[in-house]
Structure 1
Amino acid sequence: MKKNAILLVILLISTFALATTLSARINVESDNKVVEVVLDYSEFQDMANQSEETLSWWFRKFNGLGIEYVGLQEENLESLMMQNQQLEVFMGWELLQQGNWRETYSPEVAEYIDYKQISEFDVFITTGTQEVFDFIYQGLTERYDAEYFDILSQEAPFAIVMKGTIEEALYQQSLHLIDANRKVSQQRHKPYSSKLMQVGLGFDVDKINTVKESGLKVLPRPNTYKAWMSEKYLETVFQEFETYEMQPSVLIFGGGEVLGYPVADDLVTRYMIENDIKAGLVESFVQRGHLEPDGLDLMVRSLDYNAVRIFSVWPFIQERFKYYNYEGAEEIENSLYRAVTERNIRLIFFKPIKQDKYTVRYDQFIYLTDYNEYEKMFERFQTRIASHGMVLGSSSRMPSIRVRIAKQTLMGWGIVAASMLLLTYLLKLNKKVKYSLLVIGLLLVPIAFLVRPMLADKMMALWAAMVFPSLAMVYFCNRCFHYVYKEEKTTKLHQQILYAIKGLVIVSAISFLGALFVAAILSHIEYLLEMDIFRGVKIGQMIPMVAYVVIYASYFGYKRKNNKDQQPSLKYEDIKNFLFEDIKIIYVIFAMLFLGAGYIYLARTGHESNIQASTMELIFRNVLEENLLARPRNKEFLIGFPVLMMGIYFAKNKMKSLAFLAGLVAMIGQTSIVNTFSHLRTPVYLSAARTFYSLVFGIVVGVIYILLFEIAMRLLKYVKEMKVFQQNV
């Protein structure tokens, strides 16, 4: 302690900066407690069509569940056709292939096709219904410049051409043609469809009225297409917001770009600021980051982060009815619950539940039309989120929070001090070298934050994620060394268990401090909204395992003699003995098993891996989640924490090799503590609760493991004594 007093003082000051920073983040998170649910009009219409009730009836029922909004998409050619409106749409080349178009359409239309040579990329629209024509005509003329379309006939059969280019063309991927010798014949493709099919034409007044009559509000979703975007379009859309009284609380962007991008996104931003409209960040289906339409991040920054994270109920979630042995929609409810409590989701874009995957038609689903199931699910959901202080309503948002460079620097200095502490246990450093390295590290930290702040905070967080679990294992190895060489064997089992519990708590506390450094340094609002992500999680889990082997070698060496009186440091002889060791087949087998287990462990970290938990494990997780404020992590309380206790137990019983192996496995739990807080979208209180539960459960499981091992050893001893007795007899 005296030798490292300066390092400890720096670490203490850094911890104070950490506490104030983390306090500000916790205050921001604690005020963000209102969850909004928005129904998808289109899919609820499909569901209502399969039920015995009208869409209005369904909306009225959901209005009674605390839901306020229905998301309504702006109409386009594609949606009109899906609603069986009386119109036909052809690509230009399809029209030309029709042999009777001259007889079918008026002379004006025929002349246009003949002399203006309609392009194969154009979209030709025809209808015999005045109402449909008026809707399309009004939508085009009010929203877009005349250069983008031509009105060919204003009498039945009505005809319109939307002028397309190769940029809008959509092609169908098909199989290659082959001849009898299996040689591929090159195919040329004509456009199958066009992006112009999704150009916004206006909102359906009947749909708006249906929503309003049910007591709900319309959350309008304009269709955007950047090639046709203009201020004229935006002014018309904003006017419709006012005319139909459907001011959105959140703008949910569809397509490849935000509303107004790239020509008038500043106009949209001003409108959103004036009307306090939040930008919607739709979480990706792998639950990492969000969908990124062009211009979104720039818009959110321009709004000073007036944004909300959105969970869209993806099709695979809709299909989780009677999933994992549940009797109803409990697993869908679990998905919603995790989204709002663990991932800062504050708007759920809800779609009806699907009972069966397909009907007679392969492209349709059978929806759940039992309202009681929906009612039970939302009532359970509201009860569960209430335990976190959350309610349903108009979505709340987190105010912009940033970490000042001064505080980042102070916290960085704490990480440097912790690094020097770790280094002093690995190498014999004289004071001059030790404090020279310290000064260099302290100087580099503020320089890094001034030059590349958004890179420096990630690097410092990653450094903390590696240093503190490694430092925690220094304490573990120190205690093991002391128990193996400098203490008499403790015969009382309860004392061994108490030592094991104490060791686990102290080791975990050191790793926990590192986790808090990660959570504090990366408290910027962009991390909380997951616009930016802490990268290097797998590195942060792998490097401490390597560091542990080096730390253990610095204490115990490799085939080192006279360990008892030696000070811990990595010696040349240890490295030499290891490198020139005779490799036995059993070593190779163990190495392969260890690497395989390590790959599975690292691959399962995150949501993008194909290696997923088993069904039984997921059911077990659900049980914990339903009965606790936060679900403890299985790898912590079933593996990492109890095995660390066993490592202390082995050391107390002079089992040095088993203590080493236990420490290697125990690193899983220590790196997992930091990993828990590396999920920056998760509120700090929830990560802390998860770690606390893991520690408590881990102690219980650790005691059980030790008792089972003790029983097994005593049985083995009894069997050996019986064999000796029988031989003597």
Structure 2
Amino acid sequence: MKKNVVLLAVILLSVFALGSTLSARIAVESNNKVVDVVLDYSEFEGMANQSEETLGWWFEKFKGLGVQYVGLQEESIESLLMENQQLEVFMGWQLFQEAGWREIYPSEVIEYIDNEEISEYDVVVTTKSQELFDFILSGLEGRYSSEEFKVISREEYFVIQLHGTIREALYRNNLNLVDMDGKLSAPRHKPYASKLMQVGLGFDEGKIRLIEESGLKVLPRPYTYKEWMQEKYIEAVLTDFETYEMKPPVFIFSGGEVLGYPNHHEIVIKYMLENNIKAGMIETSVQRSHIEQEGLNLLVRSLNYDAVRVFSVWPYIQENFEYLNYEGAEEIENNLYRAVTERNIRFIFFKPFKKDQLTTRFDQFIYITDYDEYEKMFQGLEARIAEHGMTLGRSSVMEPIRVRIAKQTLMGWGIVAASILLLSYLLKLNRKVKYGLLAIGLLMVPAAFVVRPMLMDKVMALIAAMVFPTLGMLYFSHKSHQYLYKENRNNKLYHQILYAARDLIIVSAISLLGGLFVAAILSHIEYLLEMDIFRGVKISQMVPIVAFVVIYIAYFGYRRKTADNQEPALRTKDIRTFLFEDIKIIYVIFALVIGAVGYIYMARTGHETNIQASTAELILRNILEENLLARPRNKEFFIGFPALMLGIYFAKNKIKSLMFLSGLAAIIGQTSIANTFSHLRTPVYLSVIRTVYSLALGIFMGILYILLFEIAKRLFYRIKQMNLFQQEQG
């Protein structure tokens, strides 16, 4: 350490900047403790229709659970169809092919169609209801240009044409045609539907009145479609907000873009600022980042990050009723709890529970209509989040925290110094090279942060996530080498366990420092809102594994003689011996097993993985989650941490043959520590608590594994001695 005092001083200096940055982030996170719950009108309407109670009754009951708002979509052609209103809707080409249409429609419609003034992409809406026709026409005239639609008939059979293009057309996917021999024929595509069926027509006054009479407020959700987006539409929507007194606390946009984008978003931004309206960012179904909506990031930045992350209860979560051996909605409660405590969600768009698919052919489910189940879940959720200092109410937001370049630079210097420290142990760098590299790093880091700050912070975070766990494993290898070759065997088992626990804590502390660097250097509000994310998770898991193999070879070589292992260093002789090794079948089998385990490990890392946890593992996770403030990671306390303790135990007992495997498993736990802090939407305190829990359980499991191995070892020796005795007697 005396040879690296300058590097250690730089790291220590960077730790002060790290502490200051983390303190600011923790203060921001600690003031963000209020969660809002909003009901989905259409889903609750479907649930009420299956129950014995009215929709108003259900709204009144949920008001007693702390709910204040009901999310109400703007009406559209599609919503009117779903509500079985008296209208028919055709794509243009369908109208031409409808049998007997000449006998149905008025003469002016027949003449219009005969003149081929309807394209295959148009949407044709027909109804015999004067009231429905008036509502649709009023919505179109009040919101859109007259060039976008045309009234074909105002007589007894009302007909409206929406002018469509291929941009709005929706097609069925995977529609193949086959002949009698099963050979594919060229698919024939016609538009199945159109986005124009979703454009907003205005809000239903009856629905607004029902919500308000139940004691709740309306959270309006206009539908935005930029091809038809004009200032006229925006003014109509904002007028509705004022007329019906339903200014939303959070704007949750429907459609592919935010209201007003791209030409009139300044109007919306001004309105939101004047009325203290937050932007809602809907988390994707894979719980990573947000649903892509054009103009959303621009809007959030224009509002100075006055935004909340929104959790929509996706259909697969609604269906988690009586799931994982639970008797009710406990797993749904778990999903909401994780969203709120672990992912900075402060707005829940709630939908009722479902179960029992009615048929395998149609995606229809039965709603849970037992109010007691909802009351139980809400009370359970409220009690659990209270342990984190959270309450239900008007959703809170995080202050727009930013990390100054000066602090980023200081932390970057520490990461560079740690990287050079690692290289100096692996490559035996001399002082000139070591400090030359340090000087270059000290100069390049601030320059890079000035030129590309949002790229450089990711690069530094990635390096920290790789270097510090690797440094921890370097310490593990150094101590193991010392125990194996430079110390006499210590037969006192409890001493071996104490050394193993101590070294695990030290190695984990080094890896934890890397995780804290990641959490600090990526503390910008855009990371906390997950507008931007930490990239390179799989790389940060893989590189330390490869680095550990190199470190192990440097310390213990490949088939070295004991006398050659006194001074650790990378040697060409080890590489040559390995490359010219005779390949045995057992080596191939071993490599395949390690490869399969590695693939599963890497595939399980991240959100978009096809390899899911087993039911037993999910149940264990839930048990831990329900009894602890933060769920420790299974791979840490079951595998990584105990394996490191076993590695120290093997070194103490001169069992070199098992040290490499234990170290290979141990690196999983160390990279996992840094990965825990790479989930930037998770509050820092929760990541720290999770790591402490994992460490405590890991030490317990490590002691258990050591005791089991010791018992097995003694049984093996006893059986061996008995066999020798029997052979001597024979």
> How big is each residue's C-alpha offset from its partner over 1:466-496, in whole Å with a ceiling of 9 and x where there is no partner?
1101111111111111111111111111111
For residues 497-531 of structure 1, what are the alpha-carbon distances to aligned partners after superposition, in whole Å with 9 as ceiling and x for unaligned?
11111100001000000110011111111111111
Q: Contact conserved, 2:318 with 2:353, CA < 8 A, in 1?
A: yes
Query: Aligned runs of 1:518-533 on 2, under 5 Å?
Result: 518-533=518-533
Could you say which residue in structure 1 is the equivalent of 2:689? 689
1:571-590 alignment runs, 5 A limit = 571-590=571-590
For residues 110-149 of structure 1, the aligned pairs below 5 Å read: 110-115=110-115, 117-149=117-149
Match of 1:371 in 2: 371
Question: Does the aligned pair in 1 maintain the 2:171–2:190 contact within 8 Å?
Answer: yes
Secondary structure of the residue that 1:36 maps to in structure 2? strand
RMSD: 1.7
Match of 1:512 in 2: 512
Q: What is the match of residue 198 of structure 1?
A: 198
Q: What amino acid maps onto 1:17 in structure 2?
A: A
Alignment of 1:666-705 (within 5 A): 666-705=666-705
2 CA distance for matches of 1:187 and 1:618? 43
Q: How does 1:29-48 map onto structure 2 within 5 Å?
A: 29-48=29-48
Contact conserved, 1:359 with 1:366, CA < 8 A, in 2?
A: no
What per-residue deviation string (whole Å, max 9, x for no partner) do you get for residues 170-208 of structure 1? Answer: 233464444456555445433222211111000000001
Amino acid in structure 2 at the alignment position of 1:700: F
1:645 Cα deviation after fit = 0.6
Instruction: Compare 99-108 and 72-81 and name the one that shifted more.
Output: 99-108
TM-score, reference length from structure 2? 0.97
1:716 equivalent to 2:716? Answer: yes
Shift, 1:565, TM fit: 7.6
Q: Counterpart of 1:316? A: 316
SS at structure 1 position matched to 2:467:
helix
| Amino acid in structure 2 at the alignment position of 1:334 | N
Partners of 1:425 and 1:551 within 8 A in 2:
no
Cα offset for 1:363? 4.0
Q: Distance in 2 between matches of 1:353 and 1:571?
A: 63
Q: Which residue of 1 aligns with 2:223?
A: 223
Q: Is the 8 A contact 2:36 2:395 kept in 1?
A: yes
Find the aligned partners of 2:179 and 2:470 in 1 and give their Cα distance.
Answer: 64
Q: Is the 8 A contact 1:128 1:158 kept in 2?
A: yes
Q: Secondary structure at the match of 1:37?
A: strand
In 2, the alpha carbon distance for the partners of 1:552 and 1:172 equals 56
| Cα shift at 1:41 | 0.3
- Which deviates the most, 457-466 or 580-589? 580-589
Who is 1:630 aligned against? 630
Alignment of 1:23-422 (within 5 A): 23-98=23-98, 100-115=100-115, 117-173=117-173, 175-180=175-180, 184-358=184-358, 362-422=362-422
Identify if the C-alpha distance between structure 1 residues 494 and 182 changes in structure 2 by more than 3 Å, giving closer, same or farther: closer
- Counterpart of 2:255, as a letter, is G
For residues 720 and 100 of structure 1, do their structure 2 counterparts lie closer, same or farther at Cα, with a shift above 3 Å needed?
closer
The Cα of 1:660 is off from its aligned counterpart by 2.3
Per the TM alignment, residue 664 of structure 1 is displaced from its structure 2 partner at its CA by 1.2
Deviations 1:95-116 (A, max 9, x none): 3334654553444434433446
- The one-letter code of the counterpart of 1:189 is H
Q: What is the deviation of 1:330? A: 0.4
> Which residue matches 1:2?
2
* In 2: Cα distance, 1:565 partner to 1:580 partner: 21
Partners of 1:296 and 1:432 lie apart in 2 by 51
Deviation at residue 342 of structure 1 after TM alignment = 0.7
- Amino acid in the other structure paired with 1:471: L
Distance in 1 of aligned mates of 2:137 and 2:286: 41
Letter in 2 for 1:200: G
Tell me how far apart the structure 1 counterparts of residues 212 and 361 of structure 2 sit (CA, whole Å): 33
1:563, distance to aligned residue in structure 2 (A): 4.5
Aligned residue type for 1:135: F
Distance in 2 separating the partners of 1:581 and 1:125: 77
Q: Which moved more, 1:511-520 or 1:418-427?
A: 418-427
Q: Distance in 2 between matches of 1:189 and 1:677?
A: 48
1:620-659 correspondence runs (5 A): 620-659=620-659
Structure 1 residues 172 and 722, CA, compared in 2 at 3 Å: closer, same or farther? closer
Q: What are the within-5 Å matches in structure 2 for residues 537-552 of structure 1?
A: 537-552=537-552
Which amino acid in structure 2 is aligned with residue 472 of structure 1?
G
CA distance in 2, matches of 1:174, 1:461: 42
Shift of 1:149: 1.2
Which secondary structure state, in structure 1, belongs to the residue aligned with residue 255 of structure 2?
coil
CA distance in 1, matches of 2:569, 2:723: 45
**1 CA distance for matches of 2:562 and 2:187?**
78
* Amino acid across the alignment from 1:139: G
- Say which is worse superposed, 220-229 or 146-155, in terms of deviation: 146-155
Q: 1:190 to 1:23 in 2, by over 3 A?
A: same
Q: Give 3-state SS (helix, strand or coil) of 2:220's partner.
A: strand
Of all paired residues, the percent bearing the same amino acid is 69
* Offset, 1:86: 1.2
Does structure 1 conserve the Cα–Cα contact (< 8 Å) formed by 2:281 and 2:309? yes
Aligned ranges 1:440-519 → 2 under 5 Å:
440-519=440-519
SS of residue matched to 1:4: helix
Question: Is the alpha carbon distance of 1:665 and 1:185 closer, same or farther for their aligned partners in structure 2, counting shifts above 3 Å?
Answer: closer
Q: For 1:348-390, what per-residue CA distance to the aligned partner results, in whole angstroms no more than 9, with x for missing partners? A: 1111100212259834321000000010011001000100111
CA distance in 1, matches of 2:98, 2:431: 90
The C-alpha deviation readout for 1:394-427, integer Å capped at 9, x for no partner, is 1111111111111111101101111111111112
Structure 2's unaligned 5+ residue stretches are: none
Q: Do the aligned residues in 2 keep the contact of 1:18 with 1:411 (CA within 8 Å)?
A: yes
* Residues 321 and 354, structure 2, Cα contact 8 Å, conserved in 1: yes
| One-letter amino acid of the structure 2 residue matched with residue 149 of structure 1 | F
What is the Cα deviation at residue 591 of structure 1?
1.3
Task: Tell whether 2:672 aligns with 1:663.
Answer: no
What amino acid maps onto 1:345 in structure 2? I
1:127, 1:159 within 8 Å by CA — same for their partners in 2?
yes
Deviation at 1:674, TM superposition (A): 0.4
State the distance in 2 between where 1:289 and 1:428 align: 43
Aligned partners of 1:486 and 1:564 also within 8 Å: no
> Does the residue aligned with 2:717 lie in a helix, a strand or coil?
helix
> Residues 429 and 184 (structure 1 numbering): CA distance in 2 closer, same or farther, change over 3 Å?
closer
Q: Aligned equivalents of 2:360 and 2:268: distance in 1?
A: 45
Q: Map Cα deviations across residues 46-74 of structure 1 (whole Å, 9 max, x no partner).
A: 00000000000000000100111111000
Q: Matched residue of 1:3: which SS?
A: helix
Give the SS at the match of 1:247.
coil
Matched residue type, 2:409? T
Residue deviations 1:659-715, cap 9 Å, x none?
222111100100000011111111100000000000001111111111111111111
Distance change in 2, residues 1:728/1:184 (3 Å): closer
> Quick one: structure 1 residues 563 and 265, their matched pair in 2 at CA, closer, same or farther if it must change by over 3 Å?
farther
Q: What is the distance in 2 between the residues matched to 1:110 and 1:565?
A: 95
Seen in structure 2, the aligned counterparts of structure 1 residues 371 and 182 have a Cα distance that, compared at 3 Å, is: closer
Question: Which amino acid is 1:85 matched to?
Answer: Q
Confirm whether residue 599 of structure 1 aligns to residue 599 of structure 2. yes
The one-letter amino acid of 2:153's match is S
The residue matched to 1:60 in structure 2 has which SS?
A: helix
CA displacement at 1:631 relative to structure 2: 0.4
1:559 aligns with 2:559: yes
